[in-house]
Amino acid sequence: MIGKVPPNSKEAEKSVLWSILIDNDAMVKIAGFIDATDFYDTANSLIFGIMLDLFKKWKNIDLVTVKQILEDKKKIDNIWWVEYLVDLTNSIYTSSNIFQYAQIVKDKSVLRKLIKVWSEILNYWFEEESEINNLLEKSEQSLFWVTQNFIQNKLFHIRDIASDRYNEFSEISQNPEYYESLKVKTWYKSLDRLLGGLKPGDMVILAARPSMWKTALALNIAEHVWANKKNVAVFSLEMSKEQLTDRIICSSMWIDGKKLNKWELDEDDFIKMWDALEKLSKINIYIDDSCSWSLLEIKSKARRLKMESWLDFVVIDYLQLISNGWSWWNSFNRVQEMSDISRWIKSLARELWVPILALSQLSRAVESRTNKEPVLSDLRESWSIEQDADVVLMIYREDYYNPELARSDIPWKTEIFIRKNRNGPIGTITLNFERKYMKFIEIDTQHGDDHGWGNPWS
């Protein structure tokens, strides 16, 4: 063994670094799988450590950002570093294979650790003065160290978890305003009172039958979020970006939607619209109306937005239109596919550390019942949506099932059932829907009318 080079693959190490430099999303596939200590080459280890640090801070990873940190660390005091980085970007690998490259790096790292451990064990065994039980104990501990570091998901003792939670709650109590600002408020006081706001990492389901104004309510909530200087991303497959923008303009500036759709705007309407455009230009809302979605596409776009412009809230309209990309499997088991999508969205909410409001259709089973108020079992195509969600909201309108009651010139009472709230109470709130403005207004149940809040922009 003396004189032999430890197992390594500089080619695989450089392939990992190159993949990340040309494709920020490549890091998503390997973060948590390998770290800087898995790299044999010192330069590669240093560069990957910088990349991983940028990734954890939601910053872009490219030649410029890595070079800047090397300079700040006084590690780029000669032209060699610059040439090495440029050489990485001129390679001919493909970033789609990054996990295979990382697997090679990880395997070589484990082999080096095993060699190191076995060398130590051999030294123990030559210590004849030691008791055999002590030698066996040392050998077992050394091997356990390798296996424990190879396994990604470790078991944590409750004392360590409790200690961390104590420190977190202590910090929250000392900075209550900051931690309160991390929550996303819906604008509807009765809903926020029950939910405590939408918390980072929450998967919130808003479900209803078609034409129950799910999208309108989601946009109303999002409107308040971006009006409070938070960044919002809306992924919509059902409506175009132009239709969504029209709804936002109607709702935020109280412009009659019918007049907008028929191109019958008067001078006052154009003044309102100009005011809306001026305000919308100063806030951060991003809309994606791609014709087809895959899980990877949404995740990639959301992660890129988080890194480039930050992100506080995500709306997905709606779950049943998403594909997991396995077309050959979809036609055989749609329920399993929806289960995968549901778990994936919950995972994305935790990774991005933002609440995700995902819209969902309800099954037709509700139509066949005498009592048509929706319940959790009505969630369409998958029981796992109910299981994975932190909050499930369901919309119910009496006029939907009794069309003779419906009138377009009056606000309509709409009940929002909180059917699940993982960390709080369930209940029902009542909203009025101003149909021509596509806007939900909260009803003051004590005084019999809506709150006089008007516009969240004001």
Rg (CA), the chain: 28
The total number of residues written for the chain in this structure: 458
Pairwise CA distance, residues 435 & 416, whole Å: 16
Spell out where 290-406 has E strands: 313-317, 356-361, 391-396
Pairwise CA distance, residues 77 & 235, whole Å: 45
Pairwise CA distance, residues 36 & 34, whole Å: 7
What is residue 34's three-state secondary structure?
Answer: strand
Pairwise CA distance, residues 146 & 195, whole Å: 44
> Catalytic one among 11, 238, 386, 434?
238
Asked if residue 308 lies in contact with residue 255, where contact means CB atoms within 8 angstroms, the answer is no
Pairwise CA distance, residues 433 & 137, whole Å: 71
What is residue 316's three-state secondary structure?
Answer: strand
Query: Does the annotation count 180 as an active-site position?
Result: no
Of 126, 109, 445, 95, give the one whose Cα is nearest residue 300. Answer: 95
Task: Identify the H or E element spanning 415.
Answer: strand 412-421
Scan for tokens 């929450």, then name that residue: 202
Scan for tokens 């809506």, then name that residue: 450
Q: Which positions are catalytic?
A: 238
